């Protein structure tokens, strides 16, 4: 049996994280935990409050822990734009001998912004409202890029080539 992997994403809204996560799932069979869909399943009236997010990520972190304990690979499809959150998930992976693969979606900001603010992004992710420019900018302003000691790979999500990404990820 091959070593389990935990895939984490860093990047702007609209950078292509979910598209790449779907490719990884299709190529590897890894469990795809898509935070946006999980939030919809957990809450009737989504408000993205701190409490709601804490409940969501407590549950998803526990599911990740359990899946890695079973030797299953996990694609955690959300923004891991804070180093402390990446470190927390890396510790869970390490506990189970799983490899952590950080994918930094370095899509040009103009491309990501256009995607994130478009109604298609709202509809695809099941949001009640489209992202507002101020929210996009707030998320970008707080993004903590991966550092060299985090062992990450960069993907330009402006034009996603499934075969090229599979080669880059070694899958």
Q: Please give the full DSSP string across 35-89, using - where no structure is assigned.
A: HHHHHHHH-SS----HHHHHHHHHHHHHHHHHHHHTT--EEEEEE--SHHHHHHH
Q: Determine the pLDDT at residue 122.
A: 67
Distance CA 17, CA 11 (A): 7
| Higher-pLDDT residue of 4, 126 | 4
Residue ranges covered by each domain of the chain: 5-169
Domain at 5-169: CATH code: 3.40.50.300
- Give the residue carrying structure tokens 């034009």: 159
Residue 121 has pLDDT above 80, yes or no: no
How large is the C-alpha radius of gyration of the chain? 15
| Model pLDDT for residues 71-85, shown as the tens digit of each residue | 999 999 999 999 999
Residues 96, 69 contacting (CB under 8 angstroms):
yes
161 band by pLDDT with thresholds 50, 70 and 90: confident
Q: What is the pTM of this model?
A: 0.91
**Interval 59-109: pLDDT, tens:** 999 999 999 999 999 999 999 999 999 999 999 999 999 999 999 999 999
**Whether residue 127 has pLDDT greater than 70:** no
Number of H helices, E strands in the chain: 8, 5
């Amino acid at each position: 049996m091959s070593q389990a992997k935990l895939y984490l994403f860093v990047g702007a809204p609209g950078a292509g994280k979910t598209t790449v996560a779907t490719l990884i799932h299709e190529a590897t069979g890894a469990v795809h935990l898509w935070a946006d869909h999980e939030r919809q399943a957990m809450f009737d009236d989504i408000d993205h409050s701190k409490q709601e997010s804490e409940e969501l990520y407590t549950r998803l972190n526990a599911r990740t822990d359990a899946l890695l304990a079973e030797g299953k690979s996990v694609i955690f499809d959300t923004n891991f734009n804070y180093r402390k959150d990446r470190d927390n998930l890396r510790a869970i992976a390490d506990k189970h001998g799983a490899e952590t693969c950080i994918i930094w979606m370095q899509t040009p900001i103009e491309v990501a912004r256009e995607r994130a603010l478009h109604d298609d992004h709202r509809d695809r992710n099941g949001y009640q409202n489209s992202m507002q420019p101020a929210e996009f900018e707030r998320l970008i302003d707080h993004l903590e890029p991966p550092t060299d000691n985090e062992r990450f790979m960069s993907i330009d999500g402006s034009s996603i080539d499934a075969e090229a990404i599979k080669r880059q990820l070694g899958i």
